Amino acid sequence: MSTTSKALAPIRDAALLDGDGALIPELFWALAEVWNPVRVALAETPTEGTGVLSGTVAAAQFGAPVAIAADSPPDLYVTSATQVRALERRFGTTSGPSRRASVAVEPTPLVTTTAVDRRAHVVFVALDLAQDRSRGREILNAWHPTEARRVW
């Protein structure tokens, strides 16, 4: 069995493919259910260029209908747990509303390899927004990035 066939098998088993390809947006929402990056809250804002920007700040830059303050903390992805630990040591950690940023290991290498201008691809940004159970779906349904009619 080829690598592609092995990768597609769970998607087929979950009935997220039909004769024309992936069922959209069902595939997106199925992925959103298991998208669970473990974020570490940093006490200080990392220097510019640290990691790949995602979350609400990136969504606002992509034109999502989200309200953010000028000093909204960025959500960043890095490629390894070693990088997360280095950022924890350098910028400290915190909890609650005092966080100045958050950092997580990318759930897939595609987060950093498809990033443009140090921002995660719009699909990964959308997956982060989908984690907001109260408003995520509403924001995503109203968001029409220039790259696509919908984020999926």
Domain map (residue ranges) of the chain:
1-34, 37-142
pLDDT digits (tens, 9 = 90+) for 61-82: 999 999 888 889 999 999 999 9
The span from the CA of 28 to the CA of 123, in Å, is 9
Reported confidence tier of residue 89, pLDDT bands at 50, 70, 90: very high
The span from the CA of 111 to the CA of 99, in Å, is 23
- pLDDT attached to residue 69: 85
Are 27 and 126 in contact by the 8 Å Cβ rule? The answer is: no
Q: Is the pLDDT of residue 125 over 90?
A: yes
| 38, 90, 108, 130 from 34: Cα distances, Å | 12, 30, 12, 11
85-107 mean pLDDT: 94
Rounded to 10 degrees, what is the CA torsion of 97, 101, 105, 107?
A: 70
Looking at every residue in the chain, the average pLDDT score rounds to 86
Reported confidence tier of residue 30, pLDDT bands at 50, 70, 90: confident
117-145 mean pLDDT: 90
Task: Please give the model's pTM, rounded to 2 decimal places.
Answer: 0.83
